[in-house]
Amino acid sequence: MHAHRGSSRSLPITRGLLACFGLLLALFGANINQQLSAQLGDASAIVARVNDQPITNDLAENRAQRLWGAAYLALTSAQQRSIVELLIDEELLLQRAESLQLATTDPGLRKIMVAVAIEQVVNEFRRQPITEQQLLAFYRTHRSIFEAPIKIAVDAVRLDPEVDVSVVEALLAEGRTLASIVATLEHQYLAPRSPLTAGQHHRILGGAFARRVLALDEFEVSRAMVRSEGSYFFQVTDIETRAPDADNFEILRERVAGEYSRRGRRLALETKLDTLWRRAQINSQLGDLERH
């Protein structure tokens, strides 16, 4: 009888404890959940908005894993900023593609649609007629690139095997320099970045790599060479020249037209992205962003 009465008296106490625990959960549960989401990364969280279109943490997380093999929230602020700026570039191109009826509802085709949008910008440039006056003006402005080279400066880089080569190639296609891309990646420069003679490149890089470098034009980037120890990229950053053997526009016209077209494609994409950034309404938790 006594035991039964003691058990009855303990019920209100138990209920009271449960009620207090429930109140604590109600007061602090939302805050705890927000903290956990911030630490672990909520896939639906928004890292930026572009013309009211959200860029989610899921996209940033995916890109962080592919570029650095790490969680987005574990990256430095500079690395996070570079990822968000890249995703904004892609979103602006995708929104432009939608206005041109090039869009798709399949999120798995995002990279393909970005490539289609880039190609569309490039094709717009290609359709523009090139006059003799434009070529001649380009030749006079950039005469040095048609002169015979004496020394060549190159960024010769080996990236760690964990780095996703396709992401690096996508960034290069958007007009980024090799040096700016690898700055936040695990990499190693294989040679001094200052101008070197052809013979010096052969001695430092070896015959196969040197031949690849010497075949590049100024600012041109080689295709990736993927090996077990990592992937190799080369970009010519400067060419020191002497006076051309044949300083004649008519003789060099074909080379001038090719260089005008190559540089024009890259400039057309850069100009289009700069215009889209200026016209867009962009908000990010990283603060004010500028396209570099």
Domain boundaries, the chain: 10-40, 46-128+275-284, 149-241
> Which of these ranges, 5-19, 78-92, 196-210, 229-243, has the smallest mean pLDDT?
5-19
Predicted pLDDT of residue 257: 86
Question: What confidence tier does 205 reach under pLDDT thresholds 50, 70, 90?
Answer: very high
Whether pTM > 0.85 for this model: the answer is no
Pick the closest to residue 121 from 278, 263, 268 (CA basis). Answer: 268
Residue type at position 111: K
Cα separation, 286 vs 255, in Å, equals 44
Higher pLDDT pick, 182 / 270: 182
Q: Which residues contact 48 (CB under 8 A, 6 or more apart)?
A: 54, 55, 84, 87, 88, 282, 283, 284, 285, 286, 289
How far is residue 139 CA from its own chain's centroid? 31
Cα separation, 232 vs 161, in Å, equals 10
Cα separation, 220 vs 177, in Å, equals 10
User: Rg of the chain over CA atoms, in angstroms?
Assistant: 28
Report whether pLDDT(36) > 80. no
Predicted pLDDT of residue 232: 96
Q: Give the pLDDT mean for 35-48.
A: 59
Q: What is the CATH number of domain 149-241?
A: 3.10.50.40
Mean pLDDT, the chain, rounded, equals 77
Higher pLDDT pick, 126 / 9: 126
Higher pLDDT pick, 17 / 174: 174
Q: Give the pLDDT mean for 58-85.
A: 86
Higher pLDDT pick, 127 / 158: 158
Predicted pLDDT of residue 100: 56
CB 15 within 8 A of CB 7: no
Question: What confidence tier does 227 reach under pLDDT thresholds 50, 70, 90?
Answer: very high
Cα separation, 184 vs 124, in Å, equals 33
Predicted pLDDT of residue 81: 87
Predicted pLDDT of residue 11: 44
Largest CA distance in the chain: 117
Predicted pLDDT of residue 27: 38
